[in-house]
């Protein structure tokens, strides 16, 4: 396999019940990216659905773990090892409740908030050095959650709700912005991209109790 191959992972939970949940925005983005690049995500391998193709002159693998969010690392570790993809070529797209709805940021390294999917991948790969595209899903037209007073139960309940009608009407813009961020990651200096996409971050360094 090519050492330049990029593994692009959208996080979410499998099944119709979770399809339009806020926590499944990673799945949605990868599905639209697959459609835009004529990649079919239909190969079943080790609790995953994946497809291969090209984007911005890079060979890419689009991956949707089918393990449920908290075990995402099992699928990612297997596929990354099987395809011999190095950590720096792994990009994870995930929801982020500490960012305003529709805000897109690019990060690498330690997380600012609790996210069971990202934590599972970090444990599986034994590294935090993969790239993350953070998609803001805090309530539309409202401030992101106050991480000092919001409980984990409140966050979980919110993440497992479907997007509202207003949010769905704007979601294509969010997906387009996420695709633009991915394009930047693949075509520009990553340090410049990290610097540019973290400006104005609404994230805080503490997690809900």
Cα 21 from Cα 28, distance rounded (Å): 10
Q: Which of 32, 22, 14, 26 is nearest to 71 (CA)?
A: 14
| Measured CA angle at 61 (ends 58, 64), to 5 deg | 145
pLDDT digits (tens, 9 = 90+) for 18-38: 999 999 999 999 999 999 999
Residue 3 confidence (pLDDT): 61
pLDDT digits (tens, 9 = 90+) for 133-149: 999 999 877 767 777 78
Calculate the alpha carbon distances from 163 to 25, 54, 101 in Å: 10, 30, 11
pLDDT > 70? residue 208? no
Q: Which of 39, 30, 22, 53 is nearest to 182 (CA)?
A: 30
pLDDT digits (tens, 9 = 90+) for 104-136: 999 998 777 789 999 999 999 999 999 999 999
Residue 111 confidence (pLDDT): 74
With contact defined as beta carbons under 8 Å apart, do 60 and 52 qualify?
A: yes
Structure tokens at 67: 């393990």
pLDDT digits (tens, 9 = 90+) for 160-199: 999 999 999 999 999 999 999 999 999 999 999 999 998 5
Q: Which of 35, 29, 22 is nearest to 144 (CA)?
A: 22
Cα 117 from Cα 177, distance rounded (Å): 22
Which domains does the chain carry?
Answer: 6-198 (3.40.50.1470)
- Residue at token pair 């997690």: 207
Residue 2 confidence (pLDDT): 52
pLDDT > 70? residue 203? no
pLDDT digits (tens, 9 = 90+) for 41-90: 999 998 999 999 999 999 999 999 999 999 999 999 999 999 999 999 99
Residue 81 confidence (pLDDT): 96
SS3 readout for the chain: CCCCCEEEEECCCCCHHHCCEHHHHHHHHHHHHHHHHCCCCCEECCCEEEEEEEECCEEEEEEEECCCHHHHHHHHHHHHHHHCCCHHHEEEEEEECCCCCCCEEEEECCCCCCCHHHHHHHHHHCCCCCEEEEEECCCCCCCCCCCCCCCHHHHHHHHCCECCHHHHHHHHHHHHHHHHHHHHHHHCCHHHHHHHHHCCCCCCCCCCC
Give the strand pairing for 43-44 and 48-55.
antiparallel
pLDDT range class, residue 205, cuts 50, 70, 90: very low
């Amino acid at each position: 396999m090519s050492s330049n191959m990029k593994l692009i992972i959208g996080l979410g939970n499998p099944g119709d019940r979770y399809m339009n949940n806020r926590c499944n925005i990673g799945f949605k983005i990868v599905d639209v990216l697959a459609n835009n690049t004529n990649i079919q995500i239909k190969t079943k391998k080790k609790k995953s659905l994946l497809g291969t193709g090209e984007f911005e002159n890079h060979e890419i693998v689009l991956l949707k773990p089918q393990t449920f969010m908290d075990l995402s690392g099992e699928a990612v570790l297997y596929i990354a090892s099987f395809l011999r993809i190095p950590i720096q070529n792994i990009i994870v797209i995930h929801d982020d409740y500490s960012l305003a709805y529709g805000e897109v940021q690019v990060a690498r390294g330690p997380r600012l908030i609790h996210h069971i999917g990202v934590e599972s991948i970090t444990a599986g790969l034994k590294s935090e050095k993969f790239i993350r595209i953070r998609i803001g899903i805090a309530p539309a037209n409202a401030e992101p959650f106050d991480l000092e007073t919001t409980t984990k139960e409140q966050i979980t309940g919110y993440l497992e709700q479907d997007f509202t009608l207003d949010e769905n009407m704007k979601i294509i813009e969010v997906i387009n912005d996420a695709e633009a961020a991915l394009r930047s990651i693949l075509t520009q200096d990553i340090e410049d991209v990290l610097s540019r996409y973290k400006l104005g971050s609404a994230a805080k360094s503490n997690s809900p109790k």
